[in-house]
Amino acid sequence: MQSFAAKTVVITGAGSGLGREFALLGARLGMRLVLADVQQEGLKQTEAAAVALGAEVLSQNCDVRRGEQVESLAQSALERFGVIHLVFNNAGVGAGGLIWESTQQDWEWVLGVNLWGVIHGVRLFTPIMLASEKADPTYQGHIVNTASMAGLLTPPAMGVYNVSKHAVVALTETLHHDLSLIDSTIGASVLCPYFVPTGISQSETVRPADTKPSEHPTRSQQLSQAMLEKAVTAGKVSAAEVAQMTFDAIRARQFYIYSHPQALGNVERRMQDILQARDPGDPYEQAPKLREQWRSGLLEK
What is the distance between the alpha carbons of residues 107 and 2, in angstroms, rounded to a whole number? 39
Main-chain dihedrals φ then ψ at residue 32, nearest 5 degrees = -95, 130
Q: At what angle do helices 219-233 and 288-299 cross, to 10 degrees?
A: 150
Neighbours of 121 (CB within 10 A): 26
Q: How many helices (H) and strands (E) does the chain have?
A: 10, 7
Transcribe 229-269 into DSSP letters. HHHHHT-SS-HHHHHHHHHHHHHTT-SEEES-GGGHHHHHH
Choose the catalytic residue: 139, 161, 256, 284: 161
For the chain, the maximum distance between any two Cα atoms, rounded to a whole number of angstroms, is 66
| 139 given a catalytic annotation | no
List the one residue out of 119, 111, 76 whose CA is nearest residue 93: 111
Residues marked active site are found at: 161
